[in-house]
Structure 1
Amino acid sequence: MDTPTDEAAARAIQDRLRTRVVLDETGPPPGTGLVTGVDVAYDDERNIVAAAAVVLDAATLAVVEEATAVGQVAFPYVPGLLAFREIPTVLAALEQLTSGPGLVVCDGYGQAHPRRFGLASHLGVLTGLPVIGVAKNPFTFTYAQPGTRRGDSSPLLADGGDVVGRALRTQESVKPVYVSVGHRVSLDNACAHTLHLASAYRLPETTRRADALCRRALREATLAVPGS
């Protein structure tokens, strides 16, 4: 992965790599094969980031394999450039897996990004894997509230009116999640995967498990730091 020296260099890398995003593939059917959640946790005081990759059997949602990696944060916090903080450690976690990973689910965005190249797209291009983004909070788009029923959705609209994702209700009367394509998956399929993975909770089981694992890895890493 290219390591930018400043914000301008990071945006130039995004602009170069986004031409490699594949948007004309459907991706694997929901409930088949393997699906992997990735997430990160930070200790800003110590400049440490921990990443987790959790592989699930897509049919049963049982855990197949887990991996973590811990590193130093190599890029400052800049909205729209979070991939440069997260991806090096995420890649290190993914590289430890012996199975899968199949479809990858990020806690973040893909096409729903100012340069149409969020974390999910960036990770997809670098790995060649099918990747989707399922975010907890809205970013740089507008949308109407979807209906209250599970499965109701509404388009995420960029400034020019382009559809860059969907606000998707995964549980009845619970606030939506924000789904966008990363790489090699259609938006319809990304939403279908999200609903399958969020059968009991608002967030996909991939994200829930990866979030818990990266937080645990961060706690263990910071306890090992002298003076903690």
Structure 2
Amino acid sequence: MRPETPPHWLHPSMIAEARAAQAEMAARLVMEDALPARIACLGGADVSATRFDPARRVFAAIVTLDATGAEAARATEARIADFPYIPGYLGFREAPALAACWARLAPKPDLLLVDGQGAAHPRGLGVACHLGLVLDVPTIGVAKSLLVGEASPGPEPGDTAPIVWKGREIGVALRTRRRASPLYISVGHRVSLATALRIVRAACDGRRLPPAIRAAHEAANAARRATIDPDRAG
């Protein structure tokens, strides 16, 4: 986490403060390419949680894949979320745990694919934006559903369509596998939309989700099983 990160960007005390923090962060996003010339290591970030869990437990994971696609590192974090489950504010539940993962991860990736929204968000600040700004690393939002907007890509792998909301393009829907629902790609931080689409498309290997996100999903679920049902964790 950057030392200058204001506390309320991660731990707001109320909804009004969270909304104000989102506006502050959205104004500081870099939505153009400001990333390494060569992406040697790609990362995936995901959080496993149940919205109705009264304990507010979250299980976060970040995984680094090397240039061959092999796993080079993973870090997980299990904690109680400070912020409740409120659609549009998931970054405040997930980013603190993901930031803890990042602090322990070695080697770190050059860019993170985040399972969740980027700028395709009502206030332009999904968890991919939130995390990218807090860590000051390039991030891309790779969501499995739309939060706002509409998009209808064709049926073939590689087909795309703009995500349009209130008359403007806020992301791109990408069909990665025939007969599978599309992915919804949007800018996180320090990556342009064109580059985000190119990276996600290149990362896919014939399955719906890129390997980095699949690996993070498996790691987060493993951390959850180890806490909730340790007898079945192995």
- TM-score, normalization: structure 2? 0.89
Matched, 1:35 2:22: no
- Tell me whether 1:208 sits opposite 2:217 in the alignment: no
Pairing 1:88-167 to 2, within 5 Å after superposition: 88-143=96-151, 145-159=152-166, 161-167=167-173
Give the one of 43, 53, 73 matched to 1:65. 73
- Among 70, 75, 81, the alignment partner of 2:83 is 75
CA contact (8 A) 1:134 1:177 kept: yes
4+ aligned runs moved over 6 Å, structure 1: none
Mark the CA change 1:157 to 1:28 in structure 2 (over 3 Å): closer, same or farther: farther
Q: Which amino acid aligns with 2:47?
A: V
TM-aligned CA deviation for residue 117 of structure 1: 0.9
Cα 1:130–1:209, aligned 2, differ >3 Å: closer, same or farther?
Answer: same
Aligned residues: 220
1:4 match: 12
AA aligned to 1:37 is G
Measured in 2, the distance between the counterparts of 1:184 and 1:84 equals: 20
**1:199 positional shift:** 1.1
Q: Does 1:174 align with 2:180?
A: yes
Q: Distance in 2 between matches of 1:27 and 1:173?
A: 33
The answer (yes or no) to whether the contact 1:27–1:189 under 8 Å persists in 2 is no
1:94-122 deviation digits (Å, cap 9, x = unpaired): 11012122101111111100111111111
Equivalent-residue separation in structure 1 for 2:34 and 2:97 (angstroms): 28
Query: What residue ranges of structure 2 are gaps of 5+ in the alignment?
Result: 1-6
* Deviation (angstroms), 1:195: 1.5
The secondary structure found in structure 2 opposite 1:46 is coil
1:47 matched to 2:56: yes
3-state SS in 2 of match to 1:80: coil
> Contact 1:50 / 1:70 at 8 angstroms: preserved in 2?
yes
Asked whether the equivalents of residues 26 and 189 of structure 1 are also in contact (C-alpha less than 8 Å), the reply is no
Q: Distance in 1 between matches of 2:37 and 2:148?
A: 29
Answer whether contact 1:169 1:177 (CA < 8 A) is retained: yes
Shift of the alpha carbon at 1:37? 0.5
CA distance in 2, matches of 1:42, 1:146: 29
1:28-58 alpha-carbon deviations (Å, 9 max, x no partner)? 568x31111011112514321111111001x
Contact conserved, 2:102 with 2:108, CA < 8 A, in 1?
Answer: no
Q: Which amino acid aligns with 2:119?
A: Q
Separation in structure 1 between the aligned mates of residue 113 and residue 157 of structure 2, nearest angstrom: 20
TM-score by length of 1: 0.91
The alignment partner of 2:59 has SS state of strand
The one-letter amino acid of 2:60's match is A
RMSD: 1.6
Distance in structure 2 (CA, Å) of the matches to 1:47 and 1:175: 29
